[in-house]
Amino acid sequence: MLKAEGFSVEAFYFERDYHQGRLPDCSSESLGKIENGRYLKRIFMYLKSIRKIRQQAKLATVIYSFELDLGILTRLATIGIPIKRVIEIGDIRDIQTASGVVSTILRKIEKVVIAKVDLLVVTAPKFYTEYYQKWLGLHVNHLIIENKLDQELMPSVLSSSNNVRTVDVITIGYFGVLRCDWSAKTLFSLAKNYPNRFTIHLAGKWMLSDELFEKITSLENVFFFGEYKSPNDLLKIYSEVDLVWAVYQPFSEAKKNYNALWAKTNRFYESQYFRKPIVVLEDSGDEFFVRAHSTGLVVNESIELSTLVEMLNPTNVDACRRNVVKCDVKNFIYSGEAKALRDALI
């Protein structure tokens, strides 16, 4: 986005065992590999990278970091360097909203760091209004850039919109980082108990137990395609399904997933762009648009399997698909965000 607006961009990143994403279209260099859950080792890797970050920051006019941990790191690394600091927050983690001592300390640190940035970029309006304004009491220069799709990198929506289902078996796609235990078990129940009604396509990074993976993929009507590259493989995986499952772990009063509560999912933008109806969680960030435009179905944790099967009938799915086709594709792709970001930085 910045490169398209005339900025000279160099990327520095940490490698991680995670779902494969799109590589940046600029020169890039790894700062090392961090492991999931190994927080002490991660801190050591971060501290080790400070010298390199500081060297590069002295040659730049803007340093743009993603997520809070790297925002804190770049703040430490650029002390005393006259440079514009930007932090983009794409997720609000559980540790940021928990009530424990560690979370309380982290929020105090976050408040100090965010208060001193030149620009805060958030991927959902409520990240700013609900968390940074109401929760942390901050009022800072900010910009909202949702996780929409870059149309220049995407295949034409017309090439996927004519894929009309011709059989009564509904193919459900569950793509991305597959880490919702409730979703996986629900899809398993659908596939096992109604093999003549549903086929399940799984693609992405499996983050749940090996036992559950073996259990669900043992069914003849469940297919796991492994990881995929975005955006190159998106047309293929979305064109082969009738319905997209975009449900995250259901909420509870004891542990609310504020990330899912406040933000739209990547699956939302992708499914709607490719003209596929979607199944979303009640009270999630996806629900308002889906209900307002009838582009999908809304479920909750207490739904009975028989009720879910009744909802997921060909008539409902086809009606939702026709509504998706009617939606303006600009709801799902970037339009003036790049210019807005450029203007905020110059």
| Most confidently predicted of 137-151, 158-172, 243-257 | 137-151
Residue 325 maps to a domain: yes
Claim to verify: residue 170 and residue 278 sit in the same structural domain: yes
Strand pairing class (198-206; 142-144): unpaired
Claim to verify: residue 175 and residue 320 sit in the same structural domain: yes
Can you say whether residue 62 is alpha, beta or left, with left for phi > 0 and alpha for psi between -120 and 50 degrees?
beta
First-last CA distance in the chain: 15
Q: What one-character DSSP code corresponds to residue 96?
A: H
Q: Residue 187 has what pLDDT?
A: 98
Claim to verify: residue 104 and residue 172 sit in the same structural domain: no
In contact, 114 and 128? CB cutoff 8 Å: no
What percentage of residues in the chain have a pLDDT greater than 90?
78
pLDDT of 24 higher than 50:
yes
pTM: 0.90
Claim to verify: residue 323 and residue 206 sit in the same structural domain: yes
Q: List the single range of 4-8, 191-195, 208-212 with lowest mean pLDDT.
A: 4-8
Query: Of 128, 145, 162, which marks where a domain is finished?
Result: 145
Claim to verify: residue 189 and residue 289 sit in the same structural domain: yes
Q: What is the pLDDT of residues 49-87, one digit of tens each?
A: 999 999 999 999 999 999 999 999 999 999 999 999 999
Residue 161 maps to a domain: yes
> How many separate domains does the chain show?
2
The range of the structural domain enclosing residue 184 comes to: 153-331
- Whichever domain contains 298, its CATH number is 3.40.50.2000
Claim to verify: residue 205 and residue 295 sit in the same structural domain: yes
Query: Of 145, 161, 191, which marks where a domain is finished?
Result: 145
Hey, what's the torsion of the CAs at 9, 131, 180, 230, to 10 degrees? -20
Claim to verify: residue 157 and residue 141 sit in the same structural domain: no
| Most confidently predicted of 31-35, 156-160, 206-210 | 206-210
Q: Residue 158 has what pLDDT?
A: 55
Claim to verify: residue 115 and residue 180 sit in the same structural domain: no
Strand pairing class (222-224; 243-245): unpaired
Query: Of 94, 115, 145, which marks where a domain is finished?
Result: 145
Q: Residue 159 has what pLDDT?
A: 47
Measuring CA to CA, how many Å separate 143 from each of 50, 76, 87, 88, 196?
A: 27, 23, 10, 9, 48
